[in-house]
Amino acid sequence: MYTQLQHRDLPEPPVNIGTLRKMKADGVPIACLTAYDASFALLVDTAGTDLVLVGDSLGMVIQGHGTTVPVTVADIIYHTRAVARGLRRSFLVADMPFMSYTTPDQALHNAVLLMQEGGAMMIKLESGEGQFEIVEHLARHDIPVCAHLGLKPQSVHKIGGFRVQGRDPEAARQMVGAAKRLEECGADIVLLECVPNEVGQAVTEAVGIPVIGIGAGPQVDGQILVLYDILGITQGRVPRFVRNFMQGLDSPLAALTAYVQAVKDRSYPAPEHCFS
């Protein structure tokens, strides 16, 4: 009864929140990626990715919008369902889209949809002071939560662009405080986007839960990147922290495996991918 049918032939058990906590405790880097469909999910899983996020970045890389703001709960459910079918070992997290968590009850309602209809094992929400009560409410109902700090793309129109966060000491201090408070409220993971290395390190040392960085330097517990960025599909200017893993390789699976390896041996991120 405790073994899922799809997992019966797996050489190692699927990743769960306990696995991720142990990886932090043992200093084993957590390799994470986004995915949006079943075929890529299968490749990402085969490459050894520990955690897969169905990010609202799908609004930009799949739907072609300029921001993540137009993405809906129905969009995330659709893509999460597809990704869930492609995964066997990786831990599946789904993003709560813009304005889907304005009150504790709305957040709980939508988180339940992402888990029951989409098959997500955890939900992620862009968090700050305004979300402490929401994270607490979700945690009280046993919804696993990944809190998202640093650059919060859903706030792009409020902050005036996609830019590095936490550069001044007061903002950095507030971010560390928010991470601690979110942990107290019951968050299971913190995702930290686009901050100087020093802030990545300070947040990682301040909390007991895993910290996954994207443009947050090498001293976090794990790394995540947008799938289309690392496969060289994204056109135009890409953020400083992106590395194209397709370079010199002849298949998406080889590139994804190289990414996982580079996270595990800490050769990614290199200094040229970091903010300091």
Active site residues: 193
Binding flag, residue 45, ligand KIV (CB under 6 A): no
Q: 176-181: which pairs have CB atoms within 8 A and are 24 or more residues apart?
A: 176/202, 176/203, 176/206, 178/127, 178/128, 178/129, 178/149, 179/147, 179/149, 179/203, 179/206, 179/207, 179/211, 180/206, 180/207, 181/129, 181/132
CB-wise, 49 or 57, nearer to ligand KIV?
57
Binding flag, residue 23, ligand KIV (CB under 6 A): no
Binding flag, residue 136, ligand KIV (CB under 6 A): no
Q: Are 213 and 192 in contact (CB under 8 A)?
A: yes
Taking CB under 6 A as the criterion, the residue among 172, 224, 230, 231 binding ligand KIV is: 224
Q: Which stretch binds ligand KIV (CB under 6 A): 39-47, 54-62, 128-136, 267-275?
A: 54-62
Binding flag, residue 55, ligand KIV (CB under 6 A): yes
* Binding to ligand KIV, residues 92-111 (CB under 6 A): 95
Q: Please, what's the b/e burial string for 13-45 (b: 16 or more CB within 10 A of its CB; e: otherwise)? A: ebbeeebbbebbeeeebbbbbbbbbeebbbbbb
Q: Which stretch binds ligand KIV (CB under 6 A): 4-12, 52-60, 131-139, 266-274?
A: 52-60
Binding flag, residue 193, ligand KIV (CB under 6 A): yes
CB-wise, 134 or 169, nearer to ligand KIV?
134
> CA 88 to CA 133: how far, in whole Å?
33
CB-wise, 122 or 224, nearer to ligand KIV?
224
Q: CB 256 → ligand KIV: shortest distance, Å? A: 15
> Which spans in 103-235 are helix H?
104-113, 132-140, 156-159, 169-185, 197-206, 227-230
From the list 152, 243, 166, the residue with the least C-alpha distance to 198 is 166
Taking CB under 6 A as the criterion, the residue among 172, 192, 214, 262 binding ligand KIV is: 214
Binding flag, residue 57, ligand KIV (CB under 6 A): yes
Q: Under rule CB under 6 A, how many of the chain's residues touch ligand KIV?
A: 10
Q: CB 104 → ligand KIV: shortest distance, Å? A: 22
Give the CB-nearest residue to ligand KIV: 55
Binding flag, residue 120, ligand KIV (CB under 6 A): no
> CA 14 to CA 102: how far, in whole Å?
32
CB-wise, 8 or 237, nearer to ligand KIV?
237
Q: CB 239 → ligand KIV: shortest distance, Å? A: 10
DSSP string, 61-112: HTT--SSSTT--HHHHHHHHHHHHHH-SSSEEEEEPPTTS-SSHHHHHHHHH
3-state secondary structure of 233: coil
**Contact positions vs ligand KIV (CB under 6 A):** 34, 53, 55-57, 95, 193, 214, 224, 226
